[in-house]
Amino acid sequence: MTREEAMAKCAFLGLGVMGYPMAGHLAAAGHDVTVFNRTFSKAEAWEKEHGGAAAATPSKAAEGADFVMACVGNDDDLRSVCLGENGAFASMKAGSVFVDHTTVSAAVTRELYAAADSVNVSFVDAPISGGQAGAENGQLSIMCGGDQGAFDRAEPIMQSYSKICRRIGESGAGQMTKMCNQIAIAGLVQGLSEALHFANKAGLDGRAVVEVISQGAAGSWQMANRYETMLDDKFEHGFAVDWMRKDLGICLASADEIAASLPVTALVDQFYKDVQKMGGGRWDTSSLFKRLQSI
């Protein structure tokens, strides 16, 4: 491990439920961390808890940094923290690396990869999976796209909050892999919801059913971690429906671009739309079960 990797100067842009603990893991690993958040009081709270520094703009946060990490909301949010006089690219030093943990379109990733390259900055798309618990416990799965050299430099830094971190391919490959992740989750949650709904209608004990079927081919992370809260009608334990619909929208748009067929994903996206109409935009994704129970 190089001296830069052992003690890097880092910036972290975006302190939501994922970014706040991720930046904390960087500080705990011994890195010099400056944070930015659109609501500055959140950055001040992070600074008070973890040390480091809070900056008023992405540009100020990124000054002199070896690595700049971002975890914001969507394509436009990412552009806003990268571009313009207050954006990170305006002040990042030549040879530094920007690592984007936001789930965004591959198109904006490639756009910002080119913009970063024009100022001699490397750009790695590195979306994450593992939810809030994974961020808090430093156990995220990170799927990356970008130049091999930039990934090799950034990967030791990302180890502070990951259990697995892999480069899948060139710029945009990380985001396309995250789409595979969301496609798989959508189908799994709908399948689990239907199984529990069927058990309920058949007069079976859902917990007893899961105890048996989870030990066979039907078992999954979703089943192990969500079936009890689903049966208890509790849906504040994970990734929100509003965010899942944003991601599935990217999946479906990308599928059109590459001529992929996603009929189940399109259907589940509409089911999540139903959940939003029920007032469940902030419920976690397992609320597909609640939709079925209401029919």
Catalytic residue of the set 9, 48, 163, 178: 178
Structure tokens, 187: 């189908």
SS (H, E, C) 185-246: HHHHHHHHHHHHHHHHHCCCCHHHHHHHHCCCCCCCHHHHHHHHHHHCCCCCCCCEHHHHHH
Residue 87 CB contacts under 8 Å (≥ 6 apart), including other chains = 58, 59, 80, 81
Active site residue 60: no
> Tokens 């959508």 appear where?
186
The separation between CA 114 and the C-alpha centre of its own chain, rounded to angstroms, equals 22
Distance CA 259, CA 48 (A): 49
Q: Using alpha carbons only, give the angle 269, 272, 277 rounded to the nearest 5 degrees.
A: 130
d(CA 158, CA 230): 32
Which amino acids are annotated catalytic? 178
